[in-house]
Structure 1
Amino acid sequence: PAPRRRGPRERGEGPRAAAGGEGRPRAEPALTREGIVLAAIGVADAEGIEGMSMRRVSTELRVSSMALYRHVANKGELLTAMIDHVFTEAALPEPPPADWRRALEVALRCEWDIYRRHPWAVRLTMMAGAVVSPALLTNAEWMLRVMVSRGRTPDQAQELLTVLSAYTSGMALQATRVVLEEHEFGMDTEQWWRTRGPDFLRLADQGRFPTLFAASALPDVDGVFSLGLKHLLDGIAPLMEGPGAP
């Protein structure tokens, strides 16, 4: 007689085989907490913080959303880990430069560079921000030590730190505004200005804003940051070098 044909289960084509054999579900790709954090940073860099969700990160990693929760408890914990990563990656030098002005400039430029690379970060790290991470506290402690070493009390140093952080965060928000609008409207900076060109020309023709429209170009935000930082440090010099400074 003709040989009996084997059925799907005998050929290993049944549900058990599709699930990975022996009744076990197919394993998802290996996950690590660091891999999840890096994927979330990549999503936020490309799509803005509004586009970053546990579901979106799981899609990026090609795993189930539940797989993420074995490594991070919730979105808030993930946001904190993202901030901690970007600030740890740009750790400040130890020991700080001996000159207080150089030390504070190093710290503020480091923070500025983080915001330029990761525009979403400024929205989480302002003085009333959404997260508090060990790396953020380390940066704050670093700058406070610089100021206290010049004879400032911890309270005085906190006040100065608030002024310095407000400047960097405020400038970063100005610099990232167009980036955020790119995510919202789906256009780059040049396209954004071109679409608004006719509106600006109509306003210029009205003659109501002659000084505003006399400028030849938009200011270079990095150059403006450097200029403002110089004057800001000039402004706090009397507070850093006054009575009580070594």
Structure 2
Amino acid sequence: MKDTEYVNIWMRPERPARGPRPAYSRDQITEAAVRIADAEGIEAASMRKIAADIGAGAMSLYRYVPSRDDLIELMVDRVYGEMDLPAGPTGDWRADLETMAREYRAMQLRHSWLHTVQRGTPMYGPEQLRVTEFGLGALDVGISIDEMLSLVGLLNGYVDNFTRAEVMWLDLARRTGLTQDDWMRRNAGYVHQIMRSGDHPIFTRVVMDAQQPHMTDEESFDYGLERVLNAIGATLAPTLGLTPSVRALENEESAAEA
């Protein structure tokens, strides 16, 4: 399709200015698609299955959502709408970014299919724009746009990577009935063989330490998030006029609150 022929889904009117009232809505179609994807995975959210869910003809839905790419964009924007953020930045960049990170993680855990969605280009749906405005606005403290984008990308990248691992184990449990502990027990023989070889001392330490009480997923997420926020704080310190001693005090206070 030529660029001149492409019309972004957000520029397409949901209903014509004239004529009868549509029998369905984009919201109705999107809600059904998300519901199916949550239960069965993104590939299951086909127009045929969505149509059966809402009692429509599959071909009729293309009048509302012209393509698969459009459907994915609507679905992604719909779940971003679940992120409970203040109406605008509060003036406390650290608290705002922490709130955004926690909401982002919770949203991804509710909708594990997000990690399987192939998005080749940025999406600019209204809910995604709301989240973007909030995150970048929290860092609008006198640094450049490129710096703002890099720091938000650092935060989002941490959350994406952490939740991807969580979702992997959740999906494994759903597909096989095996928990993480079950999987480790099943592979214990091979792991012990690796350890006995002596060729991988760091891996051996990982296994041995993991046999002791260790951090839960929540504790591990908090640990990493605090350090990402500390890194962002260190980057912002010269712009905010903080001295090294003030930065150290803020880090100690953050650690105490955690």
TM range (shorter): 0.7 to 0.9
Partners of 2:240 and 2:183 lie apart in 1 by: 56
Q: 1:44: how far off?
A: 0.8
Among 197, 204, 225, which residue is 1:210 paired with? Answer: 204
Q: Structure 1 counterpart of 2:151, which letter?
A: L
TM-score where L is the length of structure 1? 0.75
Q: 1:134: how far off?
A: 2.6
Structure 1 residues without counterparts, runs of 5 or longer: 1-29
Q: 1:115: how far off?
A: 0.3
Alignment of 1:137-176 (within 5 A): 137-148=129-140, 150-176=141-167
Stretch of structure 1 that moved more, 48-57 or 195-204 = 195-204
* Pairing 1:228–2:228 present: no
Structure 2 residues without counterparts, runs of 5 or longer: 1-22, 197-202, 243-258
**SS of residue in 2 equivalent to 1:151:** coil
* Pairing 1:178–2:166 present: no
Q: 1:177: how far off?
A: 1.2
**Cα gap change, 1:195/1:145 in structure 2, threshold over 3 Å: closer, same or farther?**
closer
Whichever of the two has the greater Rg, that structure is 1
Q: Structure 1 counterpart of 2:76, which letter?
A: I
Partners of 2:59 and 2:80 lie apart in 1 by: 28
Corresponding residue number in structure 2 for 1:188: 177
Q: CA RMSD in A?
A: 2.7
Q: 1:70: how far off?
A: 2.5
TM-score where L is the length of structure 2? 0.72
Number of residue pairs the alignment of both structures matches: 212
**Cα gap change, 1:227/1:121 in structure 2, threshold over 3 Å: closer, same or farther?**
same
Q: 1:200: how far off?
A: 2.2
Instruction: Please tell me whether the aligned partners of residues 79 and 131 of structure 1 are also in contact (alpha carbons under 8 angstroms).
Output: no
Instruction: Please tell me whether the aligned partners of residues 88 and 134 of structure 2 are also in contact (alpha carbons under 8 angstroms).
Output: no
**Cα gap change, 1:125/1:228 in structure 2, threshold over 3 Å: closer, same or farther?**
farther
